[in-house]
């Protein structure tokens, strides 16, 4: 991953965490590494732990950020979430996706229980 993509990804995750906090979520952790891949954000709302995948694009005319999630990526996300939940005795959880498009006035779309 090149430096621009890394910086964009970090900005997207920070933007998503701010949005989640503003919408009543508690941020538990960020960039958790598991044997199955990384979990961008672990948040909590009420008694549900939410594993959040963040997808960010600066601009796009032909597709949306959430379309970057392939079947293989979904499998990795599910396995990473199951691993983390098992390791931390979490029974109630879900996987959400936050898609961010644009950087000046970003459009944020939250897909709950997406996987």
Is the CB of residue 16 less than 8 Å from the CB of residue 27?
no
Neighbouring-strand partners of residue 37: 34
Strand segments (E) across the chain: 26-34, 37-45, 48-57, 93-101, 107-111
Pick from 4, 33, 1: which is nearest to 103 by CA?
4
pLDDT exceeds cutoff 60 at 105: yes
Which domains, from first to last, does the chain contain?
3-111 (3.40.1350.10)
Pick from 6, 8, 3: which is nearest to 101 by CA?
8
pLDDT tens for 41-76 read: 999 999 999 999 998 876 655 545 456 667 788 899
pLDDT tens for 3-37 read: 766 777 788 899 999 999 999 999 999 999 999 99
Position 57 scores a pLDDT of 76
Is the CB of residue 51 less than 8 Å from the CB of residue 95?
yes
State how far the Cα of 92 lies from the Cα of 47, in Å rounded to an integer.
Answer: 7
Of the candidate ranges 10-19, 37-46, 88-97, 101-110, the one whose mean pLDDT is the lowest: 101-110
b (16+ CB within 10 A) / e for 4-30: eeeebbebbbebbbebbeeeebeeeeb
pLDDT exceeds cutoff 70 at 114: yes
């Amino acid at each position: 991953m090149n430096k621009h993509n890394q910086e964009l990804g970090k900005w997207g995750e920070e933007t998503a965490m701010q949005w989640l906090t503003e919408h009543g979520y508690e941020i538990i952790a960020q960039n958790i590494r598991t044997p199955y891949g990384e979990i961008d954000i672990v948040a909590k709302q009420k008694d549900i732990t939410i594993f959040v995948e963040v997808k960010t694009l600066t601009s796009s005319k032909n597709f949306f950020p959430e379309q970057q999630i392939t079947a293989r990526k979904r499998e990795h996300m599910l396995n990473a979430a199951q691993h983390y939940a098992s390791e931390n005795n979490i029974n109630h959880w879900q996987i959400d996706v936050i898609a961010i498009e644009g950087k000046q006035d970003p459009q944020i779309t939250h897909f709950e229980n997406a996987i």
